[in-house]
Amino acid sequence: MAAKFFPGYRVVVYNTAGSYNSTGERRNPLPGFVNAYSVPELCAALRAAGSEGPARVCFTPLRSGNKREVFNDVCFLVCDFRNVIFAVEEIWNFQAPNWSPDALNECYLQWAHYGLRLMWNAQIPQKTDSALRSMTLDVYVGQFDRTLDLNAIADCRLPPEAMAQVRRLPKRKFIHRMESGEWRVEP
């Protein structure tokens, strides 16, 4: 997902699992991003960017408080920040298959009018909200073989011939379904 949001001018990354800018073996560095580890730090970073300036913030909510409450608050904050790409890692942490919190619903159902673009990823698609899956315009799908995950991916409006390839996709290859409905396999 980093490769997709990285060129953005104003980006807020919700680093749910701490995989970005981490120091571990499988780290995903985000050079040029400001790290925020608490909500006040995130507020300060966004305030410094102002309403039109560049913003590149990686928010890692480790031990920031109640997981879902923090996520809701950050959703509202990002909505008010406006004109921003909001990239949420492992979004299923805050959802059920038929439910999303109100704050997240606002993010992807209403605030596009104010320049908010939601990006998300999930290694467990079956746990993501079906409404989000069906509303998503641009989809990248890697290899999956579990039935429940495949059913969830089908909600992303992948054509049958693309779905047939999901099980046998090689590593680091993705099926990209575009907003136009076309699809292709991409590295």
Binding stretches for another protein (CB under 8 A): 1, 4-5, 7-10, 38-40, 43, 46-47, 50-53, 63-67, 69-70, 73, 76-77, 80-85, 108, 112, 115, 117-123, 125, 133, 135-144, 153, 156, 169, 171-174, 176, 178-179
Query: Are the CB atoms for 11 and 4 separated by under 8 Å?
Result: no
Nearer to another protein (CB atom), residue 80 or residue 99? 80
Minimum distance between the CB of residue 96 and another protein, rounded to whole angstroms? 17
Least distance between another protein and beta carbon 64 (Å): 6
Least separation in angstroms between residue 4's CB and another protein is 6
Residue 123 half-sphere exposure, CB side, CA atoms within 13 Å? 4
Our CB check for another protein shows the closer of 58 and 156 to be: 156
Whole-angstrom Cα distance, residue 52 to residue 124?
35
Choose between 30 and 70: whose C-beta lies nearer to another protein.
Answer: 70
CB of 111 to another protein, least distance (A): 10
Alpha-carbon distance of 5 to 23, in angstroms, equals 21
Please state, in angstroms and rounded to a whole number, the distance separating the CA atoms of residues 178 and 175. Answer: 10
CA 127 vs CA 39, 87, 163: distances in Å = 26, 18, 19
